[in-house]
């Protein structure tokens, strides 16, 4: 697998000639939307070339369709440094639990007001419904509430992915999907990061996420860190090293009330990514605890406040 900072491409002008005489095809390398500079370039591109659109929240966005960035996980962890990012709490369906861990991104979508307006008048505040963690571990099970024990119900996609990485690492179907049309009406908000695929090569585990909708200012930095962490965890328990995280976005957008804060962020110089340490040997995905992870050498610029559009 090539280094993340190098995307190799054939010289198209000479390709036919090279094939004819069997001479080696020259490769050129160039940086394209890689690591933190790539994220900032994505934001800048959207601000310069995006289309002004309305949206579900009524806030308004500047949007482009189709964007991709790559983040190396080799000896670094892609926690953005041009602003401070909180990255914990993958997989919970309880917004209150996320909030207690310092992750405020879901607070508005789990609030009493939002749930009532969405028709979930009988649902407990903070219950997001059958969202990511539920779909990963219990796809197809009947959702009741966030307190129910769903052990043994539905398809455990996460465990199937782990088993396949171990038993058939060359499989091209190592996929986990959170988009369940049957359960969409029960969710506080349908999954933004809908599908991820894992790839094994040369002893490294890489992950590509397809995200149907990406809030570049507030949500995407959190998504990058979350799936990078997931890849680290999966690599750890399958005996592999972390490779790349490839982030593919459908509707990549900047909310209009985030434009000025993002302009501030674009003026900041990226610093080296921190490192992530897993502090003990963990054999099973369910055995990870929050205290098993340590972020080292994280030296971000100050937090930039952005309001969540609901």
Q: Where are the beta strands (DSSP E) in 5-151?
A: 7-10, 27-30, 51-53, 61-72
- Write b or e for each residue in 229-238: b if 16 or more Cβ atoms lie within 10 A of its Cβ, otherwise e: bbbbbbbbbb
At how many degrees (to 10) do helices 219-238 and 35-49 cross? Answer: 150
Closest CA relative to residue 249, chosen from 280, 216, 274:
216
β-strands 241-255, 204-215: how paired? parallel
d(CA 34, CA 23): 30
Active site residues: 192
Do the beta carbons of residue 56 and residue 114 sit within 8 Å?
no
Closest CA relative to residue 188, chosen from 249, 123, 248:
123
Do the beta carbons of residue 160 and residue 174 sit within 8 Å?
no
The 8 Å CB, 24+ separation contacts for 105-113 are 105/218, 105/219, 105/222, 105/308, 106/188, 107/308, 108/308, 108/310, 109/188, 109/189, 109/310, 110/188
The contacts of residue 214 (CB under 8 Å, 6+ apart) are 67, 192, 220, 223, 249, 250, 251, 252, 253
The upper half-sphere exposure of residue 235, i.e. CA atoms within 13 Å in the direction of its Cβ, equals: 26
């Amino acid at each position: 697998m090539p280094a993340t900072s190098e995307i190799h491409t054939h010289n198209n002008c000479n390709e036919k000639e090279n094939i004819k005489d069997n001479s080696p095809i020259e490769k050129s390398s160039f940086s394209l939307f890689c690591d933190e500079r790539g994220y900032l370039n994505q934001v800048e591109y959207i601000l310069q070339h995006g289309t002004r659109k309305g949206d579900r929240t009524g806030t308004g966005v500047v949007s482009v369709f189709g964007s991709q960035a790559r983040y190396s996980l080799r000896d670094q962890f892609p926690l953005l440094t041009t602003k401070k990012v909180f990255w914990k709490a993958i997989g919970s369906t309880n917004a209150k639990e996320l909030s207690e861990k310092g992750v405020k991104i879901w607070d508005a979508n789990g609030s009493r007001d939002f749930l009532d307006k969405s028709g979930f008048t009988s649902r407990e505040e903070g219950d997001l419904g059958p969202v990511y963690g539920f779909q990963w571990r219990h796809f197809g099970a009947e959702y009741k509430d966030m307190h129910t024990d769903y052990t043994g119900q539905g398809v455990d996609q996460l465990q199937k992915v782990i088993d396949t990485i171990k038993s058939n690492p060359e499989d091209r179907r190592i996929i986990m999907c959170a988009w369940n049309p049957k359960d969409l009406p029960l969710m506080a908000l349908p999954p933004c990061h809908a599908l991820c695929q894992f790839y094994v090569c040369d002893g490294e585990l890489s992950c590509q996420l397809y995200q149907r909708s990406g809030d570049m200012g507030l949500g995407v930095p959190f998504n990058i860190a979350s799936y990078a962490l997931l890849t680290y965890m999966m690599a750890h328990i399958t005996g592999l090293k972390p490779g790349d995280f490839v982030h593919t976005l459908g509707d990549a957008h900047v909310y209009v009330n985030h434009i000025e804060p993002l302009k501030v962020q674009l003026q900041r110089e990226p610093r080296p990514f921190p490192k992530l340490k897993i502090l003990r040997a963990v054999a099973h995905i369910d055995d990870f605890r929050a205290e098993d992870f340590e972020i080292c050498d994280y030296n971000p610029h100050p937090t930039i406040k952005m309001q969540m559009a609901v």
